[in-house]
Structure formats: C-alpha cells, structure tokens
C-alpha cells in the first residue's frame, strides 16, 4: 500500500489526539500520499471500514479489493484512504484525502507547489496533474460535498512522488 508502516502506525496512534484544522489537511495528504511518510504529523486518526465512508464518496471510489481508511479528527468530516484495485489495469492503487471543509484553491496550491516545485496560487476549478514518467496522476476536485486530493498510481510498484528540483 502507499502508506508505509510508520504512517499506518501514526494513524493508529492512541497517544496523540490533535484535532486537525482544514488548513492542515493538504500537508497531511502530501505527507501520507505523495511523500509516503506521515510520521512527522501529530495526528491520531480512527481506522474505519470502507463501507463507513459517506455513500457519495464511497460510490466515487468504486469497489477496491483492499482498503485502509481513517477518519481524521476535526470539526468536519475528513478521511484519509489508501485503496487497491485488482479488477482494472489503470490506477491499481490510489491514496487520497476527502474533507467537507477543505477549500479547493489553497489545497490545490499546496499540492501543485509540492508536485511542480514552484509556488502556486491554486485553482478554484478542479485540476489534474499527470506525470507518466513518475507514474502518477494527481487531482484536486470537489465531488459529493467533499474536496478531494488524490494520487492515482499508474503502476503497481509506485509509492511516492519524486521531489522536483
């Protein structure tokens, strides 16, 4: 899966109980899904079943063959997910974050800055970044009442996005 054991341990940590504000969510997504290590965050998230996700979000994600999902503590519903699919040849793994109170423009700015290595003002509209050589398609969008930050791995063996120079 995309999240290494350190990140999974963090998400299951019992000691930390910091509430996550919407402005912290893009960095949590970047750490967990793009960098492959959320170990620096002070977050205690609750593991939940895939079926416990809100139906609009769950239907958008399809039917994964394996799923790890965490509810992130905060004022509004927010979820971090790592999903695998065996029944499709494209994007066999995805990692994402969905939150109701996450504002699209600053969230997309944070992701684009991490992916491109240059500051970004973000976008009010859904945006997608495709980097086939690096093996990913990332997106920032709104769907089902949630702002979604997600990376779709184009091959089975990818787990993090290389840093830009």
CA-to-CA distance for 81 and 79, rounded, in angstroms? 6
Q: What percent of the chain has pLDDT over 90?
A: 60
0.75 surpassed by pTM: yes
Residues 6+ apart with CB under 8 A from 15: 44
Residue 97 pLDDT grade (very low, low, confident, very high; cuts 50, 70, 90): very high
How far from chain centre, in Å, is Cα 10? 15
Rounded CA-CA distance 58/102 in Å is 18
Mean of the per-residue pLDDT values for the chain?
Answer: 84
**pLDDT per position as a tens digit, 12-63:** 444 445 789 999 999 999 999 999 876 545 567 899 999 999 999 999 999 9
Question: What confidence score (pLDDT) does residue 38 get?
Answer: 60
């Amino acid at each position: 899966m995309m999240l290494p054991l350190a990140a999974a341990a963090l998400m299951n940590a019992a000691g930390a109980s910091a509430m996550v504000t919407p402005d912290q969510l893009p960095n949590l997504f970047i750490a967990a899904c793009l960098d492959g290590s959320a170990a620096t965050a002070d977050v205690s998230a609750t593991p939940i079943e895939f079926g416990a996700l809100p139906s609009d979000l769950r239907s958008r994600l399809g039917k994964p063959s394996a799923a790890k999902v965490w509810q992130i503590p905060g004022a509004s519903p927010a979820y971090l997910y790592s999903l695998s699919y065996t029944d499709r040849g494209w994007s066999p793994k995805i990692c994402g974050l969905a939150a109701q109170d996450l504002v699209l423009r600053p969230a997309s700015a944070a992701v684009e800055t991490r992916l491109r290595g240059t500051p970004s003002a973000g976008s009010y509209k859904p945006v997608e970044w495709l980097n086939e050589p690096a093996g990913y398609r990332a997106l920032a969008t709104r769907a089902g009442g949630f702002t979604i930050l997600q990376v779709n791995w184009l091959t089975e063996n990818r787990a993090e996005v290389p840093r830009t120079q």
